[in-house]
Structure formats: structure tokens, C-alpha cells
Amino acid sequence: MCGNNMSAPLPAIVPAARKATAAVIFLHGLGDTGHGWAEAFAGIRIPHVKYICPHAPTQPVSLNMRMSMPSWFDIYGLNPDAEEDSSGIKRASENIKALIDQEVKNGIPSHRIMLGGFSQASANSANKDMHVLQCHGDADPLVPFIFGSQTAEKMKSLINPANITFKSYRGLPHSACPEEMVDVKRFIEKQLPPITDL
């Protein structure tokens, strides 16, 4: 990653098919890498969008008996009141900001950069007008469906509720499916349309 001090390899990138006027930075989930997501985005590529799929550093994860695996930060538990790795989250946020800053230096305006992820969620007062597509399988054994719907409701209290779209997928476990990827593509197309005055 640009400005990376997390000892992770360079991100997997799907370049825009023509001049990049928008970018999607997509974070993988625990134990995964950016490679599979780059492949998924290559399958739904939008010509003017560059897809950046960084890799989390490999580090011990408390939730998994301190086994080392790709993780953006340590995870102590999955229950809603579990302690959080504040310093790890801050470090990961700084590295993601470095990726965003690099794309701005590459000529993509910050309002044309979308941040997404698998098994991720964040909102604060600085981005109250952002649009959110949250997808969740109703058969997810790792992150129960109720957590997804509770997250969507919480997000509605943090940002404009009209900008939140929560989609569920029948029978989908903790993974993605073609129907979901089509929904993601449509969301990106709507939020990051081509710039016609180039």
C-alpha cells in the first residue's frame, strides 16, 4: 500500500479500461486477501473505474486463538459489546487514507473515490451524506443476519437514512454471490457515473 507501514503486499488492482475518473477501494474480510475481490470486480468492471483491493497485514487475531492471518486490526470478539482494537483500527484507517491520498495525487477527485468492504462498517459526522449499500446473506453463520440488520438501523441514526440501502440474499452464507455483485455494480454505476466532459 502507498504509505504502508503495515507490512502488507501492494494492493491487487483492476485498472480502468479507459482513463480512470473514479476509484473503488475495497477491503477484504478477516483471513482473506484482495486478490479474490479484484477478480470479482474484474468481472463487473465499469470502464472509467479503477478498483483497488489492498491486502491486510498478517497478524495474530485474538478471536482465532491468536493465529496469524490477514486482518486489518485485532478482533477480540464478535458480540456487539466486545472490546475493540482502537490503535489497530487507527493504524488501518491511516493506511486507507494514504491509499485515498495517492488516488487524489493520481488525479481522481476525492468525491469520486468510493470505499467499500466485505464484513466492514463505519460512519462518522464527516460523511453524513454518503450513500451506503449494505448487503447481507440471511444464512451467514459468522456474522448473524440480525447483526447486519441492526447495523443498518444504527447507520440510519448516523447518516441520512434515505441514503442507506440494505439488501439481503436468501440462503447466502458469509460470502458473496452473483446477484449481490450485480447489485454492487449498479450501486457503483449510480454513485460514480462517467464524466462526459473529458
Q: Is-contact 126 111, C-beta < 8 A?
A: no
- How far apart CA 49 and CA 184 sit, in angstroms, is 13
Indicate the helix (H) or strand (E) that contains 137. Answer: strand 132-137
Domain limit, last residue, from 71, 104, 120 = 120
Residue type, 77: G
| DSSP letter assigned to residue 100 | H
For the residues 165-188, what does the mean pLDDT come to?
97
Domain limit, last residue, from 120, 139, 171 = 120
Same domain, 50 and 15: yes
Please name which of 152, 147, 175, 174 lies closest in space to residue 162, comparing C-alpha atoms. Answer: 152
Asked whether residue 102 is assigned to any structural domain, the reply reads yes
Asked whether residue 198 is assigned to any structural domain, the reply reads no
- List, by residue number, the catalytic residues: 119, 140, 174
Asked whether residue 38 is assigned to any structural domain, the reply reads yes
What was the pLDDT predicted at 121? 74
Same domain, 97 and 47: yes
Same domain, 106 and 169: no
Same domain, 26 and 92: yes
Asked whether residue 144 is assigned to any structural domain, the reply reads yes
| pLDDT band (50, 70, 90) for residue 180 | very high
Mean pLDDT of the chain: 92
What was the pLDDT predicted at 78? 84
Q: What is the CATH number of the domain that holds 109?
A: 3.40.50.1820
Same domain, 137 and 156: yes
Task: Determine the 3-state secondary structure of 82 from DSSP.
Answer: coil
| pLDDT band (50, 70, 90) for residue 146 | very high
What was the pLDDT predicted at 9? 84
Quick: pLDDT tens for 53-98.
999 999 999 999 999 999 999 999 988 788 999 999 999 999 999 9
Q: Is-contact 97 110, C-beta < 8 A?
A: no
Supply the range of the domain harboring residue 107. 9-120
pLDDT above 50 (res 128) = yes
pLDDT above 80 (res 145) = yes
Same domain, 81 and 18: yes
Pairing of strands 49-53, 12-14: antiparallel
Q: Looking at per-residue confidence, does 197 or 148 come out higher? A: 148
Asked whether residue 94 is assigned to any structural domain, the reply reads yes
Domain limit, last residue, from 101, 120, 139 = 120
Same domain, 49 and 132: no
| SS3 readout for 24-62 | EEEECCCCCCHHHHHHHHHHCCCCCEEEEECCCCEEEEH
What was the pLDDT predicted at 4? 44
- Please state the domain count of the chain: 2
- How far apart CA 38 and CA 28 sit, in angstroms, is 10
